[in-house]
Structure 1
């Protein structure tokens, strides 16, 4: 659906020039929920705005459905955008807001009425059709903005952090709602967010961005379980980084020695391009387990126990001074065998950790 090739956007000139996008290339499939994820200033919104036509790239090309769209103004591109602030018309009703774009396109009144009714049902807002937008909640305003953007049936819907203004519970509900809308309409969604949970929950594929570049593209499980580099592992979820020594490499697996002297196996040696000697091992908190001293590959002091309702986080200060976090899901029959101040061991199953390139 969208082919972005070697797109660069530079603001300013000379020493003050800033590369918001740095030679970005990505292909987004038809009927895909594709997410641009990264920290503030990474270039994700700039990339979205180049697709919409609000920003002209300094170089590169963008094709939509096989056609070059860079010379087309925003109103002639088969895309619609849902912004963070929704931009609804306060003097219009919900139905009038949804109808506005169709009327500007000169659609017949009968078609406009039928489409508005269809969109109201799609976003489950039919009972609110005659309400003013100032009389409905933030979540309902979000639905109206989506319905208005979907009404002209664009080939691509661009969403620029549309959930950031919602409270936690409503944001969770709308994550599921957005995925349902994308599945039911079959429209390609390109979603921008800095929220890792949003990206993992909704996306078919995720592009992790940093400093104007795409660092990794993949499905949610690939991005989380097999990060391509340290930045991705650190940005997506919680990660422990351990200094290790690589002793032996066999294909993608490696035998490594931890700081305390214990040995284990790790994966990702081939992809990371790791050689013998010093390396970084990444492990997720939920992939480690607390055990009595002498039964793990590492030991340390249990410095803090934090209860989160669904799970408990255990913060351990290792013998070499490094910090390590473990996460255990809470169950009604869970026995709390360790308390703050205990000396503990940490068990890592062979192959659970991944070697990373910096």
Structure 2
């Protein structure tokens, strides 16, 4: 059996014709491994949902191929592909009970009654809804309805489960709880999950790997830690979390900030001239005036509970955000207008690609 559950080869999708044509996907290629939790992440209109719909069979590519377990399924209709989709709206049947909703797909496949009952019970136990089997879905909370949708999609044991922003309608606390639940379900079932979201935290929390998309192209694929700590370009750095972008000058393999002071960032020996350095807010250190290599003025502080965000201005007018862990009192001992010195954690400064 091939190691890749899904492979997209040179997929392009153009909607419309002539001057009104929109290129939703532009020669996208990606391989997703068996049993992987893979996330397509990007802003609205980047092509992530279009790619998911290609895998499901709801859209046909203008060019390229979709392979499942090594077999070309590009021309197969959705009902002939061993994949299931959980949509943002859940699309449950309000006139049926929880158990009947889960059993529906199995019944449509002509499974024996005993197998349908056994699988339904097992799926409801998996999503921790076995005590609500007889309730109508209209009597459930949003999180419970989502679990029913997951159980229904998992019941036929698909090779791949596609999830199209299924958490976006939930409140913050429930969304965080369901992030953990989704990862648990994926781990327990071993099914390949392909998850679409615009929420960076969701992607970082749940994924084995992330594909960051923009303007119909994949900008970077990698593990969450790699995407966050080593973004390949300014778009990825800016989209994943908060980032300081500082103007700098490269010469002889060294990088010096225009706002003052050297960095430990390096560039290839042949690269020189203006560059952009990215530094995460939690990697910046605040010291007394004269400490560190970068003098700055504290403009404002914003308390976020566990963190306090410090907004500073450099001598050249550039702005820097520093994230400090809040002490028990909440007072970080700084006041707006204070003159400070900034330094960076070793290896924190990174020169970005174009």
Identify whether the pair has TM-score above 0.5, normalized to the shorter chain: yes
For residues 173-322 of structure 1, the aligned pairs below 5 Å read 173-249=177-253, 255-267=254-266, 269-270=267-268, 275-322=271-318
Between stretches 333-342 and 174-183, larger displacement belongs to: 333-342
How far the C-alpha of 1:331 sits from its partner, in A, is 3.3
CA contact (8 A) 1:264 1:350 kept: no
CA contact (8 A) 1:274 1:357 kept: no
Show the counterpart of 2:129: 125
How far the C-alpha of 1:203 sits from its partner, in A, is 0.1
Distance 1:211 1:33 in 2: 23
Distance 1:314 1:77 in 2: 51
Distance 1:191 1:169 in 2: 19
1:352 aligns with 2:351: no
Between stretches 17-26 and 294-303, larger displacement belongs to: 294-303
Distance 2:311 2:39 in 1: 32
Distance 2:207 2:43 in 1: 17
| SS of residue paired to 2:332 | coil
CA contact (8 A) 1:266 1:350 kept: no
Distance 1:8 1:113 in 2: 42
Distance 2:172 2:101 in 1: 26
| Match of residue 20, structure 1, among 15, 18, 24 | 24
How far the C-alpha of 1:13 sits from its partner, in A, is 1.4
| Match of residue 138, structure 1, among 134, 142, 145 | 142
| SS of residue paired to 1:118 | helix
How far the C-alpha of 1:153 sits from its partner, in A, is 0.3
Distance 1:99 1:87 in 2: 14
Structure 1 stretches (4+) deviating beyond 6 angstroms?
none
Distance 1:322 1:280 in 2: 12
How far the C-alpha of 1:117 sits from its partner, in A, is 0.3
CA contact (8 A) 1:290 1:347 kept: yes
Give the unaligned 5+ runs of structure 2.
none
Show the counterpart of 2:118: 114
How far the C-alpha of 1:333 sits from its partner, in A, is 7.0
| Match of residue 38, structure 2, among 14, 34, 37 | 34
Render the CA deviation track for 1:30-54: whole Å, top value 9, x for unaligned: 0000000000000000000000010
Distance 1:294 1:341 in 2: 16
User: Using a 3 Å threshold, how does the CA distance of structure 1 residues 317 and 261 change in structure 2: closer, same or farther?
Assistant: closer
1:70 aligns with 2:68: no
Distance 1:350 1:104 in 2: 59
Show the counterpart of 1:252: none
How far the C-alpha of 1:350 sits from its partner, in A, is 4.1
Distance 2:353 2:28 in 1: 21
Distance 1:248 1:287 in 2: 25
How far the C-alpha of 1:300 sits from its partner, in A, is 2.0
CA contact (8 A) 2:259 2:318 kept: no
Distance 1:259 1:338 in 2: 25
Distance 2:233 2:128 in 1: 42
1:104 aligns with 2:108: yes
How far the C-alpha of 1:262 sits from its partner, in A, is 1.4
Render the CA deviation track for 1:82-120: whole Å, top value 9, x for unaligned: 000000000000000000000000000000000000000
For residues 75-94 of structure 1, the aligned pairs below 5 Å read 75-94=79-98
| SS of residue paired to 2:105 | helix
What is the aligned residue count?
350
Distance 1:310 1:260 in 2: 30
How far the C-alpha of 1:315 sits from its partner, in A, is 0.4
